[in-house]
Amino acid sequence: MKKNRTNFPDWSALIPVLPGDGPRSRELYAALRRLIETGALATGAKLPTTRDLAQRFGLSRSAAVACFEMLISEGFAVAKVGAGTFVAPDVPHLPLTLIKPRPAEIDVAASLPCGLGVAVSDPRTLDMFRILLSRHLTRPGPEHFRYGDPRGGLPLRTAIATYLRTARGVRCDAGQIVLTSGTQQGLDLLVRAALRPGDAVWIENPCYPMAHAVLAGSGATVFGVPVDAEGLDPEIGESLCSKARAAYVTPSHQYPLGVTMTMRRRLALLDWARRNDAWIIEDDYDSEFRYAGPPLTSLQGMDGSGRVAYLGTFSKILFPGLRIGYVVVPEALLDA
């Protein structure tokens, strides 16, 4: 019996007690790998036999063998015929604590009512969404099983283009629409395509903080242009930097003040972009939520020179967890 307990006493302090639940071979593998990576088991050290491990931890022999096979296949151990299993000569050595403690995750469920960007569950909308989802996934087509157009699925882009032409006066077709994971990604793509580090950009003051973060993070020189009861003032923008390469605005419902940019200011902004060969990024994040008559036509719909990129999202009219938005891209930027 003593011959069958090779290295048995030497391992008491090294191998921790395994949890009682879960796949035992995986737990044993994780424990041994941790000992190897932290240097508790030195390079070339001999591992105990699978029989010893199975007896010590109450495992089946096959579970212990599976653990060793994983260690060997991943390069943490080597097997030598007639000699046993040893720690491999070249393995990573990691500290016991890999990362600093992080702050606790945000408790999404604890968000306060009426918080910004929080949608309310609507039973009718969810029922319709569930019916449509079930209908289209009952017999999925081949397009669901391959990577298609990088702009996104044509049927959805066609539906979006039809809606935007009717409801917002946007002048576009499906070919100009790029689907995104939300407004944030759409803005990031536009900045990459249209701007270079150091380019000057107008942004509303005050503004949507994450838009400022994207622009500043891209290396742009950001100029905050004051917002009053008529929206962003292009005259002040020109006094700050007349040759800016772009302007980011929320003209339908300014964030966070809620004002609507007047027609006079809209025309002045479009004229500035045309004269300076600049871009306007129109974030139309919640134009559907207007109850005192229809919203003003989008800036993009008034633009005759192809200088306006239009950002939209489904986060407000459906729910943010859907993570779908879109960009109507000017033809000159579409390839980029």
Same fold, 22-87 and 150-334: no
* DSSP element (H, E) containing 308: strand 308-313
- At residue 291, the pLDDT reads 72
3-state secondary structure of 312: strand
CATH number of this structure's domain 22-87:
1.10.10.10
DSSP assignment string, 66-78: HHHHHHHHTTSEE
CA distances, 219 to each of 116, 198, 208, 210 (Å):
28, 6, 18, 15
Residue 328, classed as helix, strand or coil, is strand
14: left (phi over 0), alpha (psi -120 to 50) or beta: alpha
CB 67 within 8 A of CB 51: no
Pairing state of beta strands 246-249 and 325-328? Answer: unpaired
**What is the model's pLDDT at position 96?**
63
| Cα(20)–Cα(229) distance, integer angstroms | 66
**CB distance 241 to 200 below 8 Å:** yes
User: Closest by alpha carbon to 129, among 283, 329, 314?
Assistant: 314
Amino acid symbol at 140: P
DSSP character string of 94-149: --S--SPPPPPPP-GGGPPTT-TTPPPP-HHHHHHHHHHHHHHHHS--GGGGS---
178 within 8 A of 205, measured Cβ to Cβ: no
Query: Other CB atoms closer than 10 Å to residue 300's CB: what's the count?
Result: 25
Tell me the HSE value of 311 on the side-chain side, using a 13 A CA sphere. 23
Which SS3 state, helix, strand or coil, does residue 222 take? strand
Give the CATH class of 150-334: alpha beta
Q: What is the pLDDT of residue 245?
A: 97
Phi-psi region of 22 (alpha: psi -120 to 50; beta: other; left: phi over 0): left
For residue 19, the model assigns a pLDDT of: 53
Domain ranges, ordered by start, for the chain: 22-87, 150-334
Taking a C-beta distance cutoff of 8 angstroms, is the pair 250, 273 a contact?
no
Q: Are strands 177-180 and 246-249 parallel, antiparallel or unpaired?
A: unpaired
- Classified as helix, coil or strand, 198 is coil
Say if residues 76 and 87 touch (Cβ distance below 8 Å): yes
17 — phi, psi (to 5°)?
Answer: -70, 130
Residues of the chain where predicted confidence (pLDDT) is lower than 50: 1-9
Residue position matching structure tokens 């719909």? 301
